[in-house]
Structure 1
């Protein structure tokens, strides 16, 4: 395993920042649509979301320490990224504390679950990545929880409507992680990292990817016809971009690398249109 895999820029995975922007933006815009608006609070929520996403990305490789212990450069980079990731968590926690004091104690529990979930992604004894639970838990922790948490900062309440509005972006968050598992299938399998895709097999993981992708657009269309978000059907403008990653998921390992950045780009395109729907 090359130490270049643990370079800061690669470990940071900036293409995945679309997750924090879109997910937090959904909660902020849902609050705006409900009549709440505060630019300062919105900025803090976005910064905290980006810090949390960066932290998750930077600690992601910590579980590789045992397998690369003979490579001193790789070990040094993993430990450095781990420390920087925890610094990002501290920043997110500091902002979260301010928001808790501004919004109410219920946000404390939302924040604690979010931080613990982020830390438990690859850290023992939880390490839900190797337990095959990451795709499922990220849907809740980096999707539903972040959308409803952002909304709660403004409204001091969480409604069924906000939960329903969180579903498409939460599914896309899981899809981005699933694309990462599909890309790394062979290396994860060989290193004994039991991700969901390793457990169910590459073919089943690919099918799950396709089903989830189409479910995102079907749910968005349902939100539109149910008048929960009337302009949500606009997301179909991003559908050609969402189909682009499908070119890579069935390729051999060396040709499968673009699937994750392509999914991140698709998420950004989807998110831009989806969030725009809240403004009309």
Structure 2
């Protein structure tokens, strides 16, 4: 039993398991900064904190507005949501969103001392799109834009900006790691959408899987992981062979998970694939980070 608006309720609503997706891009941005001799501890900590706060903020927003839209029905297959379960009242969730948004904004202000004023539009965009994902007259998640947003806000923005606040630079290595990171994290969204395809269709949520079908979703899931691995081959041209080779270990686990996903096909059992995908994603991040840190 979870008491309404209790500490446990807020912890569950924050979805701590999703913080993996927030930490991997920052970890890779730090590894790139270290590779080029620009790593700094304080901005690294601030980048992690900002990423965690924005992930929690997005989770709160998603929880509240999916509930208000009626998307979190009794036939929901994914993990339980706080508002739908009555763990947190809608008014309480609105206050939680206000607090986490404010904390993220304050953290972003501290980062200005390292990244410069050019970070302001980036921070504002992070906050705006956290809301636009599920709110407003044109909620982006309901119109198939989720995968593009993952590529941008879990790839280019966190990887690139983490590197930028330390190095004040951008190069091809940053672009390729941003792509790889965005691709691998999008596998998490893809398996979510694959699992929820029937419920999403009823709710009018037009994800790529709803638009193209389950088979296409399965193929795209596999191709995203493959694209993440193949993006790392760029580092052969930089003389960083370990950064190209180590992430390929992830591909074995990704293939096995894809095969299991195909066998299960539908239902709550796909939550196991969600867990495996999260594990594989973290493995990829650790392997690529290690590869970037091993001297050429």
Q: Tell me if TM exceeds 0.5.
A: yes
Structure 1's 209 and 78: CA in aligned 2 closer, same or farther, altered over 3 A?
farther
Q: Quote the Cα distance in structure 1 between the aligned partners of 2:89 and 2:196.
A: 18
Q: Residue deviations 1:54-73, cap 9 Å, x none?
A: 21122223133132799997
- Deviation, structure 1 residue 43: 0.9
Whether contact under 8 Å (1:21, 1:46) holds in the other structure is yes
Match of 1:121 among 129, 133, 155: 133
Q: Quote the Cα distance in structure 2 between the aligned partners of 1:98 and 1:60.
A: 27
Structure 1's 199 and 83: CA in aligned 2 closer, same or farther, altered over 3 A?
farther
Match of 2:285 in 1: 271
Match of 1:100 among 108, 112, 117: 112
- Deviation, structure 1 residue 147: 0.7
Residue 173 in structure 1 maps to residue 176 in structure 2: no
Match of 1:245 in 2: 257
Residue 231 in structure 1 maps to residue 234 in structure 2: no
Number of aligned residue pairs: give it: 273
Match of 1:143 in 2: 155
- Deviation, structure 1 residue 274: 0.9
TM-score normalised by the chain length of structure 1:
0.88
Q: Quote the Cα distance in structure 1 between the aligned partners of 2:21 and 2:160.
A: 15
TM-score normalised by the chain length of structure 2:
0.83
Q: Which runs of 5+ in 1 are unaligned?
A: 1-6
Match of 1:191 among 200, 203, 214: 203
Q: Residue deviations 1:23-58, cap 9 Å, x none?
A: 011111211111112211111111111111121122
Structure 1's 107 and 215: CA in aligned 2 closer, same or farther, altered over 3 A?
same
Whether contact under 8 Å (2:61, 2:130) holds in the other structure is no
Q: Quote the Cα distance in structure 1 between the aligned partners of 2:147 and 2:99.
A: 25
Match of 1:19 in 2: 21
Residue 74 in structure 1 maps to residue 87 in structure 2: no
Match of 1:58 in 2: 60
Q: Quote the Cα distance in structure 1 between the aligned partners of 2:95 and 2:58.
A: 12
- Deviation, structure 1 residue 85: 3.8
Whether contact under 8 Å (1:183, 1:260) holds in the other structure is no
Q: Which runs of 5+ in 2 are unaligned?
A: 1-8, 75-81
Structure 1's 197 and 10: CA in aligned 2 closer, same or farther, altered over 3 A?
farther
Whether contact under 8 Å (2:144, 2:208) holds in the other structure is yes
Match of 1:255 in 2: 269
Structure 1's 126 and 192: CA in aligned 2 closer, same or farther, altered over 3 A?
closer
| 1:58 partner SS | helix
| 1:154 partner SS | helix
Whether contact under 8 Å (2:163, 2:169) holds in the other structure is yes
| 1:60 partner SS | helix
Q: Quote the Cα distance in structure 1 between the aligned partners of 2:136 and 2:151.
A: 21
Name the stretch that deviates more: 238-247 or 147-156. Answer: 238-247
- Deviation, structure 1 residue 228: 6.2
